[in-house]
Amino acid sequence: MYKNFFAGQWIDGSDAMDNINPSDTSDCIGQFAMASKLQTEQAIDAAFDAFPQWAKSPLQQRSEMLDKIGDEILSRKQELGEMLAREEGKTLLEGIGEVVRAGQIFKFFGAQVVRQGGENFDSIRPEVDVAVTRSPVGVVGLILPWNFPIAIPAWKIAPALAYGNCVVFKPSELVPALAHALTEIISRSGIPAGVFNLVMGRGDVVGSCIANSPKVHAISFTGSITTGKRVASAAVARMAKIQLEMGGKNPLVVLDDADLDTAVDCAVQGAFYSTGQRCTASSRLIVTSGIHDRFVKALSTRLLQLKTDHALKKGTDIGPVIDQRQLDHDTRYIQIGIDEGATLECGGEQVFRDTEGFYLPPVLFTNTHNDMRINREEIFGPVASVICVRDYDEALSIANDTTFGLSAGIVTNSLKFSSDFKRNVESGIVAVNLPTAGVDYHVPFGGTKSSSYGSREQGEYAKEFYTSVKTSYTLA
Ligand code: UN1
């Protein structure tokens, strides 16, 4: 039984959940404690009580602590990567990559701790000095998804702690093992009791309690738009600070002059790796007519070569989708695409392997248009559509014709079109001759329109959310 961690103690839940391997449903990774509402309140109280002391803690102590957490994560990348692949279903290589990213994030914020500085201004009044400084926000509630079980926790927990906040961390109930492993590492870093708390459990119990608690000063959320809106309205009702990262329907534009191999690489990596379960996935492939047929042929050939199998099996390119519910959801959308008149170019059916898992090989639709539901709603699976367009102008206008705005990509050799695209595409991230997914850890991450709300995550920009600004005036 893996326990919750709050007020510096490992604590049993009021209930327990099985953690099932999506590559092999006979493999149960463990039983994880589910916190009750009362326990969640106790965790929040612990964070609230620990905050005044932690806010004043020596920077050197915080810096060394985060660096040490990063070191341990990096030194255990193989083991943690395996656990990640086993629990979430991305391949071992992707699992290890994600663990490394998490380690690097902790080390980055370990260094950022001692790079905190304010600004001085001359006043408009004589003899007055103005200083702008930053203070921690307080107790930060983190409500997180299952698709990056260690990297997303890292990019929220590390800055939260670096800037002097206390944390109440609610992972998705589908990936408790990595959350538990990360908590175990943090718990041994010398962190004072109550500063970091793990509460596993259901959204309507734990998540809702965090969103509604007057003792939680800020909430950072990554997940679906529906849940994000619910969290946001609870937080706004009590004027808590909020940061939301939600869906995407990210366009990858391929122009006639593109290098075909680069275009296919970007589409395969961006749309189908991590089983397409990324909010940065390129689910709309917008292709100009001169290269369309060659692109579709080369991409389908590549897709048919990809091996969809057990995430830990050597040679697997695409792991399973996360669970039965997601598989049903993906399959429902495939049917919607067929009913809307799209052509199923490859994939479309669940497949069966040696172990019982949720295997859905890459699905590619062609002959689609941007008004179809498969091109308007986020599917969050290994499903992408090709939209054929006349020219660059039509490609840009279709790329922007969406309620989302997280990531966008273009494959072209034209400086003119790539520059124009970087300027005019409505997204928070734009990639030229690179996949829309897979981002660096030291620069801002986030989107526009309904993809994101609040200030950016990651890199130095994270401080906008995890600190509040104070302006002081002093008569000299
Ligand atoms: C990436 O593409 O490297 O949930 C990161 C997601 C995003 C993270 C994507 N928040 O997919």
Domain boundaries, the chain: 4-246, 251-432
**pLDDT of 341 higher than 90:** yes
CB 255 within 8 A of CB 412: yes
C-alpha span between 89 and 344 (Å, rounded): 25
375 lines ligand 1 (CB under 6 A): no
| CATH class of segment(s) 4-246 | alpha beta
- Written as six digits, the tokens of 52 are 């005044």
Instruction: Report, as an integer, the average pLDDT of 179-199.
Output: 98
CA of 177 to the centre of ligand 1 (A): 19
Q: What is the pLDDT of residue 14?
A: 87
Nearest CA to ligand 1 atom 5: 438
C-alpha span between 254 and 282 (Å, rounded): 12
- Written as six digits, the tokens of 59 are 């920077």
C-alpha span between 381 and 323 (Å, rounded): 11
437 lines ligand 1 (CB under 6 A): yes
**pLDDT of 445 higher than 90:** yes
Q: Which atom of ligand 1 is nearest to the CA of 245?
A: 10
pLDDT, one tens digit per residue, over 245-261 is 999 999 999 999 999 99
Q: Comparing 14-18, 161-165, 328-332, 459-463, which segment has the lowest mean pLDDT?
A: 14-18
The band of 317, judged by pLDDT with boundaries at 50, 70 and 90, is very high
CA of 147 to the centre of ligand 1 (A): 8
The band of 443, judged by pLDDT with boundaries at 50, 70 and 90, is very high
Instruction: Report, as an integer, the average pLDDT of 51-78.
Output: 98
331 lines ligand 1 (CB under 6 A): no
The rounded percent of the chain whose pLDDT value lies above 70 is 100
pLDDT, one tens digit per residue, over 83-119 is 999 999 999 999 999 999 999 999 999 999 999 889 9
Q: What is the pLDDT of residue 57?
A: 97
C-alpha span between 100 and 113 (Å, rounded): 20
Residue 350 DSSP SS3:
coil
CA of 203 to the centre of ligand 1 (A): 21
Q: What is the pLDDT of residue 419?
A: 98
pLDDT, one tens digit per residue, over 358-401 is 999 999 999 999 999 999 999 999 999 999 999 999 999 999 99
Q: What is the pLDDT of residue 1?
A: 87
C-alpha span between 88 and 68 (Å, rounded): 26
Task: Give the pairing type, strands 139-143 and 9-11.
Answer: unpaired
C-alpha span between 285 and 289 (Å, rounded): 12
Q: What is the pLDDT of residue 184?
A: 98
**pLDDT of 200 higher than 90:** yes
Q: What average pLDDT does the structure give for the chain? A: 98
Catalytic residue, from 166, 209, 266, 279: name it.
Answer: 279
Annotated active-site residue 245? The verdict is yes
The band of 234, judged by pLDDT with boundaries at 50, 70 and 90, is very high
End-to-end CA, the chain:
61
**pLDDT of 34 higher than 90:** yes
Residue 459 DSSP SS3:
coil
Q: What is the pLDDT of residue 227?
A: 96
Annotated active-site residue 279? The verdict is yes
Q: What is the pLDDT of residue 476?
A: 87
C-alpha span between 163 and 54 (Å, rounded): 10
pLDDT, one tens digit per residue, over 209-224 is 999 999 999 999 999 9
Instruction: Report, as an integer, the average pLDDT of 443-449.
Output: 98
**Architecture of 251-432 per CATH?**
3-Layer(aba) Sandwich (3.40)
